[in-house]
Amino acid sequence: MASEGTTAKGAITRKPRSLLWDSVNRLQKNYLAVGSLVFLALLVIVALAAPFISSGDYANQSLKHNYVVRSWMLGFMPETASPPTIVTEDGSRIKPEGDIVGYANVVTGSDYPLGGDDLGRDLWTRTVYGARISLIIALVASTVSLVVGTIYGLFSGYLGGMTDNIMMRFVDFLYGFPFLIVVILSQVYFKALSNRTSGEGFGQMIIDLNNAMGGVLFMFIAIGLVNWLGLARITRGQVLALRETEYVHAAKAVGAKTGRIVFRHILPNIIGTLIIVETLAIPGYIFTEAFLSFIGLGVNAPTPSWGIMIADAAATIRSYPHILLPPSIALTLTALTLQFILSKNGIEQPTYSPIIKPVPFQQIA
């Protein structure tokens, strides 16, 4: 930058700095983005520490505790005639003293800090464990699509010619398919597969693993599989562009081999863009997971996911709106903070690019 008023000596002795350092420096001045990063860091910590900060048993049902609320939630509950009871720590119910008005049963003690759902499961525990699902999906689906898309695009772009042509026509063809229908089809397929319990070999191992993971594994595959297309296109475009840059020619001129050119010269220069493009898709992945779980094609019960929790809550929303709040707030805040980080200056929109497929609207709208 021109305004850098360093002396000649300072210029020589100052530390070298990479492009990454510059951008980190820029980010620090953006409070909204920094605040969002702090929130996401907390979310990661909460997800990691889930067994320690919650009861740990997200599947535990207690009919005594169905729809229980904390006393501070009562003002929020719809009014009804029936008097509430209080569920104490040992599970016994007592009539409240004073004039607590409300429908739901009030819970005391340290369990159920956010109340209970229709089956008497702890909302706090489920929300905290739900964060795990959302974050894992965000991480793994984006990694799957990043790795697949990048490798595909690198191959296609660097090999060029007929191979490139065929590989890209294939991508175009898949692009023409309605995204949602493909995801639903593959999820239904995987769900049908995962009902198979007796089988052998690698396939069954994957199915068992998926079932042990609460159905998350197949969701990674379904979401990751349909999302690598855009990235493959971008990678290929970038490779084609960089293949003709002077520094790649320079590397060729000094006798660098193909592997070195691709991995030392091309990949490091496009990986930043690719990661940015991929992170822009992360809110979409989180929404897709929530959407699939909402329609019953996501994680298997009783694994908690914000989408399933919202779907359950939406069914009883007129009487028990408190069930809706924890997963809704968690999902919205996560999406919001991601948006703040991903967009320029915190509130501007990320650069619009026609090659980046817009997030399907059944999810965002």
* Interface with another protein in residues 160-189 (CB under 8 A): 162, 165-166, 169, 173, 176-178, 180-181, 184-185, 188-189
- As to burial, measured by CB atoms within 10 angstroms (0-12 exposed, 13-18 middle, 19+ buried), residue 95 is exposed
Q: Which residues within the stretch 7-66 sit at the binding site for another protein (CB under 8 A)?
A: 12-13, 16-19
Report H helices in 14-122. Answer: 19-28, 31-48, 50-53
**Of residues 112, 218, 220, 291, which one binds another protein by CB under 8 A?**
291
**Of residues 269, 275, 279, 302, which one binds another protein by CB under 8 A?**
269
**Of residues 52, 110, 246, 259, which one binds another protein by CB under 8 A?**
246
Q: How far is the CB of 140 from another protein (least distance, A)?
A: 20
Q: Which residues within the stretch 186-205 sit at the binding site for another protein (CB under 8 A)?
A: 188-189, 192-193, 195-196
Residue 353 has which token pair? 């690019």
Task: Examine residue 360 and tell whether it contacts another protein (CB under 8 A).
Answer: yes
Using an 8 Å Cβ cutoff, are 249 and 258 in contact? no
Q: Which residues within the stretch 60-119 sit at the binding site for another protein (CB under 8 A)?
A: 78
Quick one: CA torsion of 56, 61, 62, 65, rounded to 10 degrees? Answer: 80
Task: Examine residue 157 and tell whether it contacts another protein (CB under 8 A).
Answer: no
Residue 251 has which token pair? 């590397």
Q: How far is the CB of 104 from another protein (least distance, A)?
A: 14
- As to burial, measured by CB atoms within 10 angstroms (0-12 exposed, 13-18 middle, 19+ buried), residue 240 is middle
Nearest to 211 by CA among 198, 226, 223, 224: 198
Helix 31-48, helix 325-342: angle, nearest 10: 130
**Of residues 265, 280, 298, 299, which one binds another protein by CB under 8 A?**
265
- Of the pair 87, 283, the CB lying nearest another protein is at 283
Q: Which residues within the stretch 309-328 sit at the binding site for another protein (CB under 8 A)?
A: 310-311, 313-314, 317-318, 321, 324, 328
Task: Examine residue 294 and tell whether it contacts another protein (CB under 8 A).
Answer: yes
E strand intervals along 57-163: 86-87, 93-94, 106-107
